[in-house]
Amino acid sequence: METVIDKFIRYISVDTQSNEESESQPSTSKQFDLLKMLCGELKALGIEADLDQWGYVMATIPANINKKVPAVGFIAHVDTAPDASGKEVKPQFIENYNGEDIALKGVPGLFLKPSEFPELLDHKGETIITTDGTTLLGADDKAGVAEIMAAAEWIMNHPEFKHGEIKIAFTPDEEIGRGVAKFDVKKFGAEYAYTMDGGEVGELEFENFNAAAATVKIQGCNVHPGYAKGKMKNAIRIGMELNSLLPSGQKPEYTQGYDGFFHIIGFNGTVEQAEFSYIIRDHSIELYEHKKEVMKQCVDFINTKYGEGTATVEIRHQYYNMRKQVEPHYFIIEKAIAAMEMAGIKPKIQPIRGGTDGANLSFMGLPCPNIFAGGLNFHGKFEFAPVPNIEKATQVILNIVKLFAE
């Protein structure tokens, strides 16, 4: 059998970066490279699997017990974030990590430092997989993909392991908020499911942000700067002014826990025209709606000051907080807690400061909390994954399957 780490390294070698500017599904055709690979590997294990035109791999491992138990699903996404390149990933293995700075050798002078990322010290003595500093690593969520595949392979090679019906799904475009836009919950066939898409070992989450994306466009007026008085409207400066109107303390770098935020993620512009991209997040639905209104009020202020039509905003809803959909089925949280404890892990129930496919799936009738996949510092060159985290996540999957069969 191939180890879960072997699988992980193979999967991160495939570039699957999604693209929020694309209107296709999946947003990038290269995601099919990994999806086809996974579908083929499942079939090679003797598991019924298919890949549809929308980029969903769905598979079923039939029950091998007589009594009826709920079909349980495990889901992970194959795409990596647009924030950093996922092409030609060169992982580094740091064995028996000693707590010192780790050189990311692809970029001279770049280090992964515990002074900046103190969570590194929680993994002294372990083998840590890092990037080389030129790309992200891809543990979000190829660690989850590898864990599900490793568990599936183990189950197929151990027929004595008793289990109910197991459902497996791999999805595209989670990182751009469209991961399950065309997902067929009925076809999938699970009664309950778990996304393997969290971070540090022990994380267990069943509440997440309410989320929206906002695009602000500024229409300026460009004239020769020597004769600009009373005529020029600099779209870049006006956009910067609008950005300054947003609550200064409600930014990701100043928030934690249940705090929400406005996050500017992109800018492109000239004096004539400028465009600013934001994401808006809050766990509270009331504060989420208020934040959207604040964004609109900022646009109204700019138009009052500079003239109607200077600023426009498009706000697109992405997903809601799954808590109210999962909490009535709290026993699936209890099973995940027990599964972690069986693996010697202390569960850490906390809100997701982000989102998963499970959020939308929960509103589509499939209660779907989130379990750690083991990576940290997602979406950038400082991403890393301790090997024991990934191995323990695989064990948690097997323990959940066992508990559902009892």
Residues marked active site are found at 79, 174
| Contact criterion met (CB below 8 Å) for 400 and 339 | yes
| Contact criterion met (CB below 8 Å) for 142 and 168 | no
Q: Could you give the C-alpha distances from 29 to 16, 141, 168, 173, in angstroms and in order?
A: 8, 18, 22, 11
Nearest to 134 by CA among 163, 159, 105: 105
| Contact criterion met (CB below 8 Å) for 364 and 185 | yes
55: left (phi over 0), alpha (psi -120 to 50) or beta: left
Q: In b/e form, how buried is each residue of 196-219, taking b as 16+ CB within 10 angstroms?
A: bbbbbbbbbbbbbbbbbbbebbbb
Contacts of residue 29, defined as CB under 8 A and 6 or more positions apart, other chains included, come to none
Here the tokens at position 216 are 């602000």
Q: How far apart are CA 219 and CA 236, in angstroms?
A: 9
Count of CA atoms in the C-beta half-sphere (13 A) of 138: 31
| Contact criterion met (CB below 8 Å) for 312 and 220 | no
